[in-house]
């Protein structure tokens, strides 16, 4: 997809709130780390070498056809304004580290934002496939198809014994990172989230905020992923993570049921107030917006707010970041003005009849 | 008016948000303290004497005709449930002290709740006239008409030198207490209210919360009244209080203009959130409801909320008390359930097309 269309889109197909367990799992993601054999790995890249990596990938993508979602068009990060890069971070298409790259680096995305590729992030290549709901296998198939296509055109660094060679040792082996973006408001509300995170860490599952390492879980959104990539097959990784995610889904649903059964009024009140504030505030921070959208989404899932569609919550949760708000306005804004524009955007989106995208 | 109709009514004519300076002055009130010559004053009343006072007043009212607002019908407090008495307190028809009376005591109210009478409160009689907005003279005329009618039928304790004799020395003289219920959100918001209260105290003006002595100013509503009743004529009292109220009106309007001019976004945001919460909460305390209704009323006065009529705010502010909520439900409620019923009542009233009373 072209940069223009990418930045202007309202979000990828993975935000549609469809797919299995979409009440708890926003999206499933597979990332594959790959490096090119004949170039130094990213930490040792010179600008000239980095440029060569970008050009090799561009050439490979030029002849690659993935199917109905269209070609992957390469966009160089150096050609972007800082604000535009930040928008890509908020859309989960590049990592914060990648956006900050000083060497030639790039991103490529298909029409639906389901398949994408970072060039010269921590590794030469990070392939990414996203699917709505709990669909790790489907995402893996997508990523695998892209991997196969690229492997025919590029010479990946691979060792018979170690598997794919990578900069970061935690990526070595399959190079696969499987993850699910999960919405866990009831577990957080009932103070079970912290204990679950430490229990999961002991079995090699990492739980983070949605903007990667060290980020806070704003909006009760968590990225749950495997830690171990070496000594296990891709399907083992996908299946073990899927098992963990399924358990979390059941725990979250149980906590929601309990809230609904035993604290219905408090729940209705919190959800109603969240909706009332979101539809009537004139200034709102991204942090408050995410917290209220999380409560609203919970209410939508529990059918307490029939007038709001779940994908609208998903889209808004990805659209309230500072960069997205500013990009939409076409200019940099002071924080106070951002809060005003963010509130207006949320009011408009929730007040509209919420026709599906394109019909609004 | 009969007890049944009184308790069921949505509030007196003084809540119509009409009259001069109705954006700041909710209502004007005149109270006159009177005692009967041939009975001990209230602190020394026996139950039998108290009963005789009630009967004398009942007889006087029986032959009194005040005009279009109909007769004053006497209701004995001892015949009421504690909840019903509390409703009368919340409707500003009796004082908390009066509601708690253990001796025979009574209240009488006309059809529009503009004129009323407490029997055996702190004094044998306290006549009360209420008018919407800043209309102290009009209220005084109403009170004076009732006073004249009663004076023809009852023998008031009066001393040529001291004037009307009363239990409480602060009532002696004219026996007149003039007051205005003022809504001062902008002065409170800009931290000017505290200083004004102490300045006014030095010139004999008392500022209190709306439920009388010692009550807090919930909802930014203040009762502003004269302290001195002795040595000044009725018209001097009315005129000097009117001058003070006019000054406060100007101060409040100035503070509102400043808010509107310099902090428009913050103001719109506060008003919007108040409206959003009031129309969507499922549980709300009376304190929070009053605070939000105060903000909403400010927004209505500044024409930021065209869909809400000011008298609806006034009515709701008088209707959110614990007793009023329970009386409307016809039974005693646990505090949590009260909060739920209060929220439902507010939602319904604000969500309706807000047709004038009787058309809804």
Q: Determine the residue among B268, B282, B296 to mutate to test chain A binding: the one whose Cβ has the most chain A Cβ atoms within 10 Å.
A: B282
Do B191 and B52 share a structural domain? yes
Which residues contact residue B190 at a Cβ distance below 8 angstroms, ignoring those fewer than 6 apart?
A: B255, B258, B259
Question: B281 contacts in A (CB within 8 Å)?
Answer: 269, 272-273, 276
| Span B33-51, average pLDDT | 93
Rounded to whole angstroms, the Cα distance separating A224 from A18 reads: 19
Decide which of B210 and B183 is more confident.
B183
Instruction: Identify residues of B whose CB sits under 8 angstroms from chain A CBs.
Output: 265-266, 268-269, 272-273, 275-283, 336, 340, 343
Q: What is the pLDDT of residue A69?
A: 65
**The 3-state secondary structure of chain A, one letter per residue:** CCHHHHHHCCCCHHHCCCCCCCCCEEEEEEEEEECECCCCCHHHCCHHHHHHHHHHHHHHHHCCCCCCCCCCEEEEHHHCCHHHHHHHHHCCCCCHHHHCCCCCCEEEECCCCCEEEEECCCCCEEEEEEEECCCHHHHHHHHHHHHHHHHHHCCECEECCCEECCCCHHHCECCEEEEEEEECHHHHHCCCHHHHHHHHHHCCEEEECCCCCCCCCHHHEEEEEECCCCCCCHHHHHHHHHHHHHHHHHHHHHHHHHHHHHCHHHHHHHHHHHHHHHCCCCCCCHHHHHHHHHHHHHHHHCCCCCCCCHHHHHHHHHHCCHHHHHHHHCCCCCHHHHHHHHHHHHHHHHHCCCCCCCCC
Maximal CA-CA distance, chain A? 63
Nearest to A283 among B269, B281, B336 (CB): B269
Q: Is B201 found in the same domain as B156? A: yes
Q: What residues in B contact A266, CB-CB < 8 Å?
A: 283
The pLDDT of residue B359 is above 50: no
Among residues A235, A256, A277, which one ends one of the domains? A256
Among candidates B268, B279, B282 on the partner chain, residue whose Cβ is nearest the Cβ of A268 = B282
Residue A336 C-alpha, separation from nearest chain B C-alpha, in angstroms:
9
Q: Which of B266, B277, B283 sits opposite A276 (nearest CB)?
A: B277
> Is there a contact between A169 and A57 (Cβ–Cβ < 8 Å)?
no
CA-based nearest residue in chain B for residue A275: B280
Q: How far is A208 from chain B (nearest CA, A)?
A: 32
| CB pairs < 8 Å spanning A and B | 50
Distance CA A334, CA B280 (A): 31
- Residue-level pLDDT at B358: 40
- Which of B256, B277, B294 corresponds to the end of one domain? B256
Best interface-test mutation with A: which of B276, B279, B284 has the largest number of A CBs within 10 A?
A: B276
Q: Write down which residue in A237, A256, A275 finishes a domain.
A: A256
Cβ of A282 and B268 within 8 Å? yes
Is residue B357 in a domain? no
User: Quick one: pLDDT at residue B69?
Assistant: 65
**Domain shared by B202 and B175, yes or no:** yes
User: Does any domain span residue A360?
Assistant: no
Q: Can you name the residues that pair with A132 across neighbouring β-strands?
A: A27
Confidence of residue B68 (pLDDT cuts 50, 70, 90): low
Which of B259, B264, B268, B269 has the highest number of chain A CBs within 10 A, making it the mutation to test binding with A?
B269
Q: Using CB atoms, which residue from A269, A279, A282 is nearest to B282?
A: A269
- Per-residue pLDDT at B21: 95
The pLDDT, as a whole number, for residue B214 is 52
Its domain, for residue A318, covers: 263-352
Which of B265, B266, B281 is nearest residue A273 as measured by Cβ atoms? B281
Q: Please name which of A207, A210, A209, A242 lies closest in space to residue A225, comparing C-alpha atoms.
A: A207
Q: Report whether A300 contacts A313 (CB < 8 A).
A: yes
- Same domain, yes or no, for B188 and B69? yes
**Residue B195 and residue B281 in one domain:** no
Same domain, A270 and A248: no
Distance from CA of B263 to the nearest CA of A (A): 12
- Tens-level pLDDT at each residue, chain A (360 residues): 667 777 777 677 777 778 899 999 999 999 999 999 999 998 899 999 999 999 999 999 988 887 766 788 899 999 998 888 988 888 888 888 899 888 999 999 988 888 999 999 999 999 999 999 999 999 999 999 999 999 999 999 999 988 999 988 888 889 999 999 999 999 999 988 888 888 888 888 999 876 555 556 688 999 999 887 777 889 999 999 999 999 999 999 999 999 999 999 999 999 999 999 999 999 999 999 999 999 999 999 999 999 999 999 988 998 898 888 998 888 899 999 999 999 999 999 998 755 444 433
Test the A interface: residue of B262, B266, B271, B272 with most A CBs within 10 Å: B272
Mean residue pLDDT of chain B comes to 89
Segment B20-31 shows an average pLDDT of 95
CA distance A42 to A47: 10
Residue A220 lies in a domain: yes
For the segment B126-163, what is each residue's pLDDT rounded down to a tens digit? 999 999 999 999 999 999 999 999 999 999 999 998 89
Examine the predicted complex and report whether its ipTM is higher than 0.90: no
- Cβ count near B83 (within 10 Å): 16
**pLDDT surpasses 70 at B350:** yes
Which domain CATH number covers B100? 3.30.590.10
Asked whether residue B213 falls in the same domain as residue B341, the answer is no
Chain A positions in Cβ-Cβ contact with residue B266 (cut-off 8 Å): 283
**What does the pLDDT average to over B6-23?**
79
Smallest Cα distance from A276 to chain B, Å = 4
> Is the domain of B241 the same as that of B292?
no
Is residue B199 domain-shared with residue B321, that is, in the same domain?
A: no
Q: How many structural domains are present in chain A?
A: 2
Residues B208 and B73 in one domain: yes
Is A252 inside a domain boundary? yes
B84 pLDDT above the threshold of 80: yes
CA-based nearest distance A259→chain B, Å: 15
Is B358 inside a domain boundary? no
Are A272 and B280 inside 8 Å of each other by CB? yes
Residue A281 and residue B275: Cβ atoms within 8 Å? no
pLDDT at B356: 44
Q: Are residues A167 and A299 in the same domain?
A: no
> Of B269, B280, B340, which has the smallest distance from its Cβ to A276's Cβ?
B280
Predicted confidence (pLDDT) per residue in B160-184, tens digit? 988 999 988 888 889 999 999 999 9
Q: What are the CB-based long-range contacts (under 8 Å, 24+) for B85-88?
A: B86/B321, B86/B322, B86/B323, B87/B7, B87/B321, B87/B323, B87/B324, B87/B327, B88/B6, B88/B7
Q: Does the beta-carbon distance from A281 to B269 stay under 8 Å?
A: yes
CA–CA gap between residue A163 and residue A173 (Å, rounded) = 4
Q: Does residue B89 belong to any structural domain of this protein?
A: yes
Contacting B with CB below 8 Å, chain A residues are 265-266, 268-269, 272-273, 275-283, 336, 340, 343
- Does B250 have pLDDT greater than 50? yes
Check CB contact under 8 Å for B277 and A277. Answer: yes
Same domain, A201 and A237: yes
Residue A236 inside a domain? The answer is yes
Residue A108 in any domain: the answer is yes
């Amino acid at each position: 997809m072209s940069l223009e269309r990418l930045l202007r889109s309202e979000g990828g197909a993975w935000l549609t709130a469809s797919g299995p367990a979409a009440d708890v799992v926003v999206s499933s993601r597979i990332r594959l780390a790959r490096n090119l054999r004949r170039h130094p790995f990213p930490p040792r890249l010179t600008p000239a070498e980095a440029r060569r990596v970008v050009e090799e990938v561009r050439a490979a993508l030029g002849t690659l056809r993935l199917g109905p979602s269209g070609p992957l068009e390469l966009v160089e990060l150096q050609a972007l304004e800082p604000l535009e890069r930040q928008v890509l971070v908020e859309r989960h298409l590049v990592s914060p580290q990648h956006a900050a790259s000083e060497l030639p680096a790039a991103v490529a995305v298909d029409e639906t934002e389901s398949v994408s590729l970072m060039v010269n992030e921590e590794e030469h290549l990070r392939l990414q496939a996203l699917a709505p709901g709990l669909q790790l296998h489907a995402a893996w198939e997508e990523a695998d198809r892209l991997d196969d296509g690229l492997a025919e055109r590029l010479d990946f660094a691979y060792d018979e014994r170690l598997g794919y060679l990578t900069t970061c040792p935690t990526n070595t082996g399959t190079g696969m990172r499987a993850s699910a973006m999960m919405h866990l408001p009831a577990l957080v509300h009932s103070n079970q989230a912290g204990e679950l995170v430490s229990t999961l860490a002991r079995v090699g599952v990492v739980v983070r905020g949605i903007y990667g390492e060290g980020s806070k879980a704003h909006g009760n959104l968590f990225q749950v992923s495997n830690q171990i990539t070496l000594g296990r097959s891709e399907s083992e990784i996908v299946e073990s993570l899927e098992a963990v995610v399924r358990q979390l889904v059941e725990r979250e649903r149980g906590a929601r049921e309990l809230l609904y059964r035993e604290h219905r009024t408090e729940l209705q009140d919190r959800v109603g107030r969240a909706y009332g504030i979101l539809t009537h505030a004139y200034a709102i921070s991204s942090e408050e917006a995410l917290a209220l959208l999380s409560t609203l989404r919970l209410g939508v899932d529990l059918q307490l707010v029939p007038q709001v569609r779940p994908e609208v919550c998903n889209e808004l949760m990805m659209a309230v970041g500072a960069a997205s708000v500013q990009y939409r306005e076409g200019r940099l804004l002071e924080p106070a003005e951002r809060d005003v524009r963010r509130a207006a955007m949320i009011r408009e989106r929730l007040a509209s009849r919420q026709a599906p995208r394109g019909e609004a």
